[in-house]
Amino acid sequence: AQKITQTQPGMFVQEKEAVTLDCTYDTSDQSYGLFWYKQPSSGEMIFLIYQGSYDEQNATEGRYSLNFQKARKSANLVISASQLGDSAMYFCAMRERMDSSYKLIFGSGTRLLVRP
Amino acid sequence: GAGVSQSPRYKVAKRGQDVALRCDPISGHVSLFWYQQALGQGPEFLTYFQNEAQLDKSGLPSDRFFAERPEGSVSTLKIQRTQQEDSAVYLCASSVLAGGLVETQYFGPGTRLLVL
pLDDT tens-digit series, residues B18-37: 999 999 999 999 999 999 99
> Residue B80 burial by CB count (10 A; 0-12/13-18/19+): exposed, middle or buried?
middle
Binning pLDDT at 50, 70 and 90, where does residue B64 land?
very high
> Residue A3 burial by CB count (10 A; 0-12/13-18/19+): exposed, middle or buried?
middle
Spell out where A1-116 has E strands: 4-5, 10-14, 19-21, 24-25, 32-39, 46-52, 60-61, 64-69, 74-79, 88-96, 105-106, 110-115
pLDDT at B102: 77
Closest CA to A74 of A96, A97, A58, A90: A58
Give the mutation candidate from A44, A90, A91 for the B interface (greatest B CB count, under 10 A). A44
Contact A104 B45 (CB under 8 A): yes
pLDDT in tens, A33-65: 999 999 999 888 999 999 999 998 999 999 999
The verdict on A104 touching B (C-beta cutoff 8 Å) is yes
Distance in Å, alpha carbon of A28 to nearest chain B alpha carbon:
15
Distance in Å, alpha carbon of A37 to nearest chain B alpha carbon:
10
Average pLDDT, chain B: 94
Q: How many CB atoms lie within 10 A of CB A86?
A: 19
The verdict on B22 touching A (C-beta cutoff 8 Å) is no
Residues of chain B contacting residue A104, judged by C-beta atoms under 8 Å apart: 33, 35, 43, 45, 93, 105
Over residues B40-48, mean pLDDT? 95
The verdict on B18 touching A (C-beta cutoff 8 Å) is no
Contact B100 A102 (CB under 8 A): yes
| Cα separation, B50 vs B56, whole angstroms | 9
The percentage of residues in chain A with a pLDDT greater than 70, rounded to a whole number, is: 99
pLDDT at A71: 94
What is the CA A104 to chain-centroid distance, rounded? 12
Q: Is the pLDDT of residue A99 over 90?
A: no
pLDDT at A2: 74
pLDDT at B98: 67
The verdict on B34 touching A (C-beta cutoff 8 Å) is no
Q: Is A17 helix (H, G, I), strand (E, B) or coil?
A: coil
pLDDT at A1: 63
Locate the chain A residue with the closest alpha carbon to B41. Answer: A108
Q: Is the pLDDT of residue A100 over 90?
A: no
The percentage of residues in chain B with a pLDDT greater than 70, rounded to a whole number, is: 97
The verdict on A116 touching B (C-beta cutoff 8 Å) is no
pLDDT in tens, B75-101: 999 999 999 999 999 999 999 876 677
| Cα separation, B47 vs A20, whole angstroms | 32
The verdict on A97 touching B (C-beta cutoff 8 Å) is yes
Closest CA to B110 of B89, B86, B88: B89
Binning pLDDT at 50, 70 and 90, where does residue B1 land?
low
Q: Is the pLDDT of residue A94 over 70?
A: yes
Average pLDDT, chain A: 94
